[in-house]
Amino acid sequence: PALAERVRTGAVTGLSFGYRATGVKHRHYRELTHVALIEVSLVAQPMQPLARVHAVGDPNCRPTNVLQCVAG
């Protein structure tokens, strides 16, 4: 409940993605062609500045589709 309130008020909006690279191309750089998502965590300061929570749905909503509460 405390973390949910911090997200609702905008105090915590960062996201951190944990993944395993399952497909990689090696060039002058490493290109990830496929990844397996392992986890998504809320963080105060994400490594990627654009990885943010942009909408918070109604905490009392019980959707059959996860986007129903966010979209309203």
pLDDT, tens digit, for every residue of 5-56? 898 899 999 999 999 999 999 999 999 999 999 999 999 999 999 999 988 8
pLDDT of residue 1: 72
Return d(Cα 36, Cα 43) in angstroms, integer.
20
Residues in the chain: 72
Return d(Cα 29, Cα 25) in angstroms, integer.
8
- H or E element: which one contains 40? strand 30-43
- H or E element: which one contains 34? strand 30-43
- 5 by Cβ neighbours in 10 Å (0-12 / 13-18 / 19+) ranks as exposed
